[in-house]
Chain A
Amino acid sequence: MTTTRVELDEPKCVASGQCVLAAPEVFDQRDDDGVAVLLEEYPGEELLHDARAAEAVCPAAAIRLVER
């Protein structure tokens, strides 16, 4: 079985919060500047769909899902 790891390229993040809307259990936003925070580096089966949606909507190409 493969596991999927979420990579967040923090310097690219423009703090749009689109990942939080798409996958609230995988991402949060720092209160002071809005930069994304990864809550689940290895989202399980049930969160994968949301995590993929976050990758798709991130305007800054800061999120990548990697299969291992």
Chain B
Amino acid sequence: MSEALPRPADDAAEELPEYPLPRSARCPLAPAPAVRELRARHPVTKVRIWNGSTPWLVTRHADQRALLPDPRVSDDDLDPGFPHVNAHRAMIAPVTPRLITNTDAPEHTRLRRTVNGPFLVKRIERMRAPVQRIVDDLIDTMLAGPRPVDLLTAFALPVPSLVIAELLGVPYEDHDFFQRSSSLVLDGAAAPEEARRVSGELAAYLDDLIKRKTDDPGEDVLSEMAGRVRDGEMSHTEAVHMGVAMLIAGHETTATMIGLGTLALFEHPDQLALLRETDDPKLIANAVDELLRYLTIVQTGVRRVAKEDIEIGSVVVRKGEGIVFDLHAANWDPEAFPEAERLDLTRPARTHQAFGHGPHQCLGQNLARLELQVAYGTLYRRIPTLRAAAPIEDLSFDRTGTTYGVHSLPVTW
């Protein structure tokens, strides 16, 4: 596995910043302080990552917008220069089939068009009523139960789990298995062998479920993919891996946004009051985008490799060199968002890059927005006295996984 070996370091490389950059010792959630300096002075610069390789780091909003849709910027994670997020990802890349997450146009375009039917704006909008019901039921249960309660286990984790199950057509009784498995696969601290075993179990389960849906289709994503497999538009293996990808990609991300979003609102009571007192769908939609921007939970995970030489500003990224896109840096770029460090639910926030940019921009973004609109739009209105039940200093934060989140959030009302 040559891509996991350190490259020979030249002298200059000795002094490169280690990436991810160190966080502030005092605030668990503020972006790394050094990012600000890099963005202002060295917006495209080399860094050193876990395996000793030295990809470029891109921190400005405008540069990310220019590079991410550029066809010379590739998602081919088998390229020796691809800057993998961690050892586990580097290890599984050669045994992962080609999916939307690791292909470029035209293959990526073909694959993505086979799976995006259920994510069309019109079809997602039809899920609003079921999502509202899921959210209302969970709040009913919370209100009937003991206080304090952990908001993550009582609300933030079950919302996306139930919604994705509804979308994919996964039977309810298998939810526990899904929640545990997808968390483990996403956990960067998990042993690679363990993560690989659990991904295998998930794939085997979906493999079987898709076969059952071929004979007995419903109105769900897996049935739709089963239909495409039957018609020869995609292979069975592609369908299985897409199912796993959606499950994993949509679960912890959305849960983290519900948990961290609530925490951020507790810290900004005036902004929480705005949400509690409104039923204006436009304000709620804008609040969701602003929280996505402010928190940018996929902070350091967007990685690419150059397939040609690319000039950007005063540097040339050479063919075969890796590129890391720090989405948080772009979303806090004062040139794109004045007073970026301020949470302002009414600011224009729609051009944030929390879902990435370019052809790989989040497939599930319309669903994620819907879930967050319903969750934020309902939770604080129905429980107006909702508040943290433990000192914020006592919370523990996840610094290892793909997304950046809080482990538990005790709340009361």
Residues of A near any B CB (own CB < 8 A): 11-12, 14-18, 20-22, 29, 31-35, 53, 56-57, 59-61
Is B211 interfacial (CB-CB < 8 Å)? no
| Minimum Cβ distance to chain B for residue A28 (Å) | 9
| Between-chain CB contacts (< 8 Å), 22 pairs | A14-B109, A14-B112, A15-B112, A15-B113, A15-B120, A16-B361, A17-B119, A17-B121, A17-B366, A21-B366, A22-B350, A29-B121, A29-B122, A33-B113, A34-B113, A34-B116, A34-B119, A35-B113, A53-B350, A57-B351, A59-B69, A60-B361
Give B343-364 as 1s and 0s: 1 = Cβ < 8 Å from A's Cβ atoms: 0000000110000111101000
List the 3 closest A-B pairs by CB distance, nearest first: A59-B361, A17-B121, A33-B113
Most chain A CB neighbours (cut-off 10 Å) among B69, B351, B358: B69
Partner of A15, one of B116, B122, B365: B116
A32 to B69, CA, bound (A): 24
Question: Which residues from chain A contact B122 at a C-beta distance below 8 Å?
Answer: 29
Question: Which residues from chain B contact A18 at a C-beta distance below 8 Å?
Answer: 365
Q: How many A-B residue pairs have CB under 8 A?
A: 52
Nearest B residue to A32, CB-CB:
B117
Known pairs A17-B119, A33-B117; A60 contacts B350 (CB<8 A)? no
A31 to B365, CA, bound (A): 18
A31 to B120, CA, bound (A): 8
A4 to B397, CA, bound (A): 49
Nearest B residue to A35, CB-CB:
B113
Question: Which residues from chain A contact B116 at a C-beta distance below 8 Å?
Answer: 15, 33-34
Question: Which residues from chain A contact B361 at a C-beta distance below 8 Å?
Answer: 14, 16, 59-60
